[in-house]
Amino acid sequence: MTMKKMLLAGTAAFAVSASAAAAQTEISWWHAMGGTNGERVNKIAADFNASQSDYAVVPTYKGNYTETMTAAVAAFRAGEQPHLVQVFEVGTATMMAAKGAIYPIEQMMADAGEPFDGSDYLPAVVSYYQTPEGELLSMPFNSSTPVLWYNADALEAAGAAVPETWDDVKAAAQALVDNGMECGFSFGWQSWVMIENFSAWHNMEMGTKENGFAGFDTEFTFNNDKVAARLQDIADMQGDKLFVYGGRRGDSLPMFTNGECGMWMNSSAYYGSIKSQAKFNFGQTMLPLDTTLADAPQNSIIGGATLWALQGHESDEYKGLAKFMTYLSSAEVQAWWHQETGYVPITTAAGELSAEQGFYETNPGTDTAIKQLSLNTPTPSSRGLRFGNFVQIRDVINEEMEALWAGNISAAEALDNAAERGNALLRKFERTAK
Amino acid sequence: MIENRPILNMVSHAVLIFGVIIVALPIWITFVASTHDPVRMTQAPIPMLPGGYFWENFKQTLFGGGLSGTESAPVWRMLINSLMMALMISFGKIAISLLSAFAIVYFKFPFRMGFFWLIFITLMLPVEVRILPTFEVVADLGMLNSYWGLSIPLIASATATFMFRQVFLTIPDEMLESARIDGAGPLRFFWDILIPLSRTNIAALFVILFIYGWNQYLWPLLITTETDMTTIVMSIKQMLEAAEQSPQWNIIMMTALLAMIPPVFVVVAMQRLFVQGLTETDK
Amino acid sequence: MLKRVHFPTSLLPYLLVAPQVIITLVFFVWPASQAVYQSFLIEDAFGISTEFVWFENFTYLAGDEQYLGSFGRTIFFSVCVAVLSMSAALVLAGFADRIVRGATTYRTLLIWPYAVAPVLAGALWVFMFNPTLGIFPYILEFVGVDWNHYLNGSQAMALVVFAAAWKQIAYNFLFYLAAMQSIPRSLIEAAAIDGAGPIRRFWDHIFPLVSPTTFFLLVINAVYAFFDTFGIIHAVTQGGPANATTILVYKVYNDGFVGLDLGGSAAQSVILMVLVIAMTVVQFRYVERKVEY
């Protein structure tokens, strides 16, 4: 038993050393940014803390997006929630429906007497997170949009131009494979890139009720002939290796950076990783247009995450949080964040500042994401998505698309299955969100 | 041996060496990965021979906060947390199990079987399937971010009680009779006779529980909200999935290597007692 | 169950069982009953709106093809893991039992994967089999196998089976070797004098004699594959592609933890609890019988 006593003593010693904190008001911020982006998050917090002496923002890395969100939910149920939590865009409907749990950012800023002007923000970025009345619910933080990454050396060697349409993509993929490449193109985050953004890009609704913005009684409509035809064409390209599937999320990144695939569709935020790993000249361009569906692209929708304030803390702490929000969205911080990470800036001022600093001239192509997002004024079909249980629904879409790539079912079947299973999840959500 | 067949002996060794190679290969690859720079680890095919970055990776991992930017506790801190958690689980579970098995086997008292079944139903039901309600209990008791919260809920399991019960049942009754003739009370008997007799079982159980505690993943992930309390195993999975970035395999593999050493050391060092204690009672 | 000779009744036994009983009640019985209660609810993630729905979560599962499919997959996965790791361990133990010197050395070299965390084992294997970077896909390409476990469900299943079996070989090996070493030498020598060759002796004498160990290990391996492989699946495939590696315990986690569907996930937990209790009773009866004889 003496051993146990020693352990107890050890525990106590640690508890003391761990809780030696400053006398400032602490604001906890749970985030999902690992790696170098995590370093940048820490820098933002540290710079804010250094800029004033009343508040201290404490960032904590809580694992990936789902783990961070679940940790916050579990903590809320136990009354231990942080002030601020980073939630990915597909969790938006779940967060929004939890009215007693969240503190809408715009309202929080107003309550704290902190100035806030919604028109400072890029419409395509904030529209995803606004109520139908235009109130901003959460603060966009790291937003990106899918772009077409290409291996410039490989395209040149194959004599192919940078593609603008899906026909171009197919022709370029053929040229690349004919020239000895192992694969023409690939993509990651397939539901986001090939269904959500494909629909928005061609101004097609993905679900009824303005993609869920106008009510929880929404139903999926992405199982239409147009999406099915595009996906079936891609599935058929697998035979000649024009398209190779490389897994969910960013799992297929090494295929692109190792020169197996000449083109890759995924988030603009992979800029940093590609830059450090690719041993060839690369570039990014806008998503390809399906000329049978539209004459010109609409706009793409964002991904990434926003910061949600949670209820249940002291008003003084929210004052500090509001100040931090102001700091976070200032042009300097946003321009720095944008240039460092490849995420899009959330305010127009930050974009302009980046242009002034000559960032886009020295790094050609890095403004592709902003161009895509602000191509046109967002329509109800291209403003964003608001589907409940969307985390699970994305999994369902992933599963059915994987069955398609594996050749088990046709594109039409895959989409019908996904829509049917997705609708069941939407109905389930509708019951809990009243 | 029964007969001497040199060829068969050679075959035996060959098969065993092949087995050892298969078993060891993942570790070799881990080691190799931990000796290269991050960019090299994203170029196919990955190297099979060690590179020159072992010490750099080692230093960054152990003292530099591991994966850059997670502002996670330095890895040495995680190692201490893991160690505390594993030790508290092993000692706690062995202690309470010895006591309750002693009571159930050597005493007759009302509700004895009731207690036995109450303990028994917890057998093998993993934490994963009751994790959220358990989390709420721990939070209500204010045990988040503490070694207590990390370890005590995982002590609630019957495997150890069950094993000691089996051990005690095989101890001859004469032991107790002679002890009572000598005038020894129950606690005396427990301390002087039962504990020494179950020494190997305690050792075997210690190995199992240490590894069980060390290898926990989901529970510490949920229960620790302060980076100071993270354990080494949970940090590995987090490293695999940094948002919109490719994994830094060299650091991940170095951390994996460090995370493996303590439990492997415990198993190998206590191997004799472990094997004896396990196989003699068939659990 | 109880010793023939025992101590007189007093307060002491209650004090002795108290720590374990209290911990069990607080951290097991109460949360488990909460899980049972939750399985009758449909709830939003934050627990703000709650609707009592009786057995709706269960009837939903009964009609959910994905869930029923994961039953079959779990059994297939468990059988594969048990057979692969046990037969590999049996072969290794058989040879180790034969050799005069060095058996302990081999034991030391084979024992340690037991100590590797499932999540870690998963990370190692997923790295070795990464379709682009991994060493095995690189080798497999020479024999004409196009490895892509992100797409091919059978390959993904094979990968998690390998990783799970790899970790369990050590444990099985220990038990088999101990069982073989406890077989009286005279028995084997008698068989040898009768002219039985080594392979013959193994199948006719050694294998039947270690069959109690085989049965015991079968139960242990099944439980291992059912529950403890969660970390492996989580790190390697996350249930994909197209659900090809979603086993029951992973689905509980995924629906509850990722999907935040607490009621549905709790209902699955309850079903799992019933399964575990059934498996436990089977094992308990077996162990009990062994002690008696």
Of C44, C243, C260, Cβ closest to residue A70: C260
pLDDT at B30 over 60: yes
Contact assessment for residue B90 and residue B216, using Cβ atoms and an 8 Å cutoff: no
Q: What CA–CA distance (Å, rounded) separates A136 from A114?
A: 14
In a domain, B98, yes or no: yes
pLDDT at residue B234 in the model: 78
A1: pLDDT strictly greater than 60: no
Domain ranges within chain A, ordered by starting residue = 24-144+303-362, 146-300+389-433
pLDDT of residue C1: 54
Alpha carbon distances (Å) from C178 to A270, A432, B11, B243, C213? 53, 56, 21, 48, 10
Q: Which of C44, C130, C152 sits opposite A432 (nearest CB)?
A: C44
Split at pLDDT 50, 70, 90, the class of A287 is very high
What digits encode the pLDDT tens for the residues A300-320?
998 889 999 999 999 899 999
**Are the C-beta atoms of residues A382 and A203 closer than 8 Å to each other?**
yes
pLDDT of residue C90 exceeding 90: yes
- Domain A24-144+303-362 top-level CATH class: alpha beta
Q: What is the 3-state secondary structure (H, E, C) of A93-135?
A: HHHHHCCCCEECHHHHHHHCCCCCCHHHECHHHHHHHECCCCC
Is C44–A94 a contact, with Cβ atoms under 8 angstroms apart? yes
Q: For strand A25-31 and strand A55-61, is the pairing parallel, antiparallel, or unpaired?
A: parallel
pTM of the model: 0.83
Domain assignment present for residue C84? The answer is: yes
- Name the band, by pLDDT with cuts 50, 70 and 90, for residue A19: very low
A102 pLDDT band, cuts 50/70/90, is very high
C190 in any annotated domain: yes
Which range (A167-176, B166-175, C234-243, C272-281) has the least confidence? C272-281
Helix/strand/coil for C216: helix
CA distance A409 to chain C (A): 12
Percent of chain C having pLDDT more than 90? 13
pLDDT, residue A70, reads 85
Q: Between A23 and B145, where is the model more confident?
A: B145
CATH code: domain of residue B255: 1.10.3720.10
Would you state the torsion angle of the CA atoms of residues B236, B238, B243, B244, taken in this order, to the nearest 10 degrees?
20
Q: Where are the beta strands (DSSP E) in A271-312?
A: 282-285, 303-310
Sheet strands side by side (includes A282-285): A183-187, A261-267, A146-151, A282-285
Chain A residues close to B139, C-beta within 8 Å: 75, 78-80
Contacts of C227 in chain B (CB under 8 A): 124, 126, 128
pLDDT tens digits, one per residue of A86-96? 999 888 888 88
What is the CA angle A269-A274-A278, rounded to 5? 170
Query: B53 in a domain, yes or no?
Result: no
Stretch B37-60: mean pLDDT: 77
pLDDT at B1: 47
When pLDDT is cut at 50, 70 and 90, the band that residue B282 belongs to is: very low
pLDDT at position C178 is 85
Contact indicator for A287, A373 with CB cutoff of 8 Å: no
A&C contacts, CB < 8 Å: 93
C81 lies in which domain range?
A: 55-290
Q: Does C138 touch chain A (CB under 8 A)?
A: no
Is the pLDDT confidence value at C180 over 50? yes
Per-residue pLDDT at A123: 83
Q: Please report whether residue B46 resides in a domain.
A: no
Q: Name which of B68, B92, B243 is nearest A39 (Cβ-Cβ).
A: B68
pLDDT at A417 over 60: yes
User: How many domains does one find in chain B?
Assistant: 1
Q: What is the pLDDT of residues B174-186, one digit of tens each?
A: 888 888 888 878 8
Interchain pair C98, B9: CB under 8 A? yes
Burial of A77 (0-12, 13-18, 19+ CB in 10 A): buried
Cβ atoms of residues B271 and B260 within 8 Å: no
pLDDT at C3: 67
Q: Please, what's the largest Cα pairwise distance for chain B? A: 75
pLDDT surpassing 90 at residue B222: no
Which residues of chain A lie closer than 8 angstroms to B140, CB-CB?
A: 78
pLDDT at B241 > cutoff 90: no
Closest Cα partner for A381 from A112, A248, A198, A216?
A: A198
Nearest to C231 by CA among B219, B227, A402: B219
CA distance C293 to C288: 9
* Domain span including residue B127: 72-283
A259-273, A349-363, B230-244: segment of lowest average pLDDT: B230-244
What is the share, in percent, of chain B residues with pLDDT greater than 90?
8
B residues 99-138 closer than 8 Å to C (CB): 99-100, 102-110, 112-113, 115-116, 118-126, 128-134, 136-138
Per residue in A44-73, pLDDT (tens digit) is: 999 999 999 899 998 888 877 888 888 898
Q: What is the pLDDT of residues A382-396, one digit of tens each?
A: 888 889 888 889 988
Question: Is B134–C27 a contact, with Cβ atoms under 8 angstroms apart?
Answer: yes
pLDDT beyond 90 at B74: no
What's the pLDDT at A4?
41
**Which residues from A are below 8 Å from C148, CB to CB?**
244-246
pLDDT band, very low/low/confident/very high, at B88 (cuts 50, 70, 90): very high
pLDDT band for position B280 (cuts 50, 70, 90): low
Higher pLDDT, A40 or B4: A40
d(CA B243, nearest CA chain A) in Å: 6
Q: Which pLDDT belongs to residue A3?
A: 42
Q: pLDDT at position B135, please?
A: 82
Single out the residue of C100, C82, C244 nearest to residue C181, CA to CA. C100
Which chain B residues are closer than 8 Å to A338 by Cβ? none
Higher pLDDT, B142 or C79: C79
Between chains, do C260 and A98 touch, taking CB under 8 Å as contact? no
Q: Could you give the CA distance from residue A96 to residue A99 in angstroms, rounded to a whole number?
A: 6
**For the CA atoms of B263, B269, B274, B276, what is the dihedral angle to 10 degrees?**
170
Query: Region C100-118: what's the mean pLDDT?
Result: 82
Looking at mean pLDDT, say which of A101-115, B63-77, B223-237, C116-130 comes out highest.
Answer: A101-115
List the alpha helices (DSSP H) in chain B. 6-33, 54-63, 75-106, 112-120, 131-140, 147-155, 159-170, 173-181, 186-189, 195-197, 199-214, 218-223, 232-240, 249-269, 271-280
- Asked if B236's CB is within 8 angstroms of C123's CB, the reply is yes
Identify whether the C-beta of residue A180 lies closer than 8 Å to the C-beta of residue A300. Answer: no
pLDDT mean over A192-220: 92
For residue C1, the chain B residue with the least C-alpha distance is B105
Asked if residue A322 lies in contact with residue A407, where contact means CB atoms within 8 angstroms, the answer is no
Give dist(CA B116, CA C288) in Å, integer: 15
Tokens of A357: 């600093």
Q: Is the pLDDT of residue B249 over 50?
A: yes
pLDDT at A324: 94
pLDDT in the model for residue B283: 39
Does residue A9 register a pLDDT over 90? no
Contact B2 C188 (CB under 8 A): yes
- In C, which residues are within 8 Å of B100 by CB distance? 16-17, 19-21
Domain harbouring C166, CATH code: 1.10.3720.10
Phi and psi (nearest 5°) for A345? Answer: -70, 150
pLDDT of residue A12: 41
Distance from CA of B96 to the nearest CA of C (A): 6
8 Å CB contact of C5 and B44? no
B17-25, Cβ contacts within 8 angstroms, sequence gap of 24 or more: B19/C88, B19/C91, B19/C92, B19/C106, B19/C110, B19/C169, B20/C106, B20/C109, B20/C110, B22/C166, B23/C109, B23/C110, B23/C112, B23/C113, B23/C166, B23/C169, B23/C170, B24/C109, B25/C128
Cβ–Cβ below 8 Å for B241 and A79? no
Which has more pLDDT, A397 or A340?
A397
| pLDDT(C292) > 60 | no
CA A75 to chain CA centroid, nearest Å: 23
Cβ of residue C131 closer than 8 Å to a chain A Cβ: yes
| Model pLDDT, residue C127 | 83
Tens of pLDDT, residue by residue over C231-259, are 889 888 888 787 888 898 888 888 887 78
ipTM of the complex: 0.81
Q: Is the pLDDT of residue A345 over 90?
A: no
The superfamily in CATH containing domain A146-300+389-433 is: Periplasmic binding protein-like II (3.40.190.10)
Q: Does B62 reside within a domain?
A: no
Report pLDDT for B246. Answer: 65
Coil, strand or helix: which one is A320? helix
Tell me which H or E stretch contains A84: strand A84-88
**Token digits of residue C268:** 């699955």
Q: Do C32 and B249 touch (CB under 8 A)?
A: no
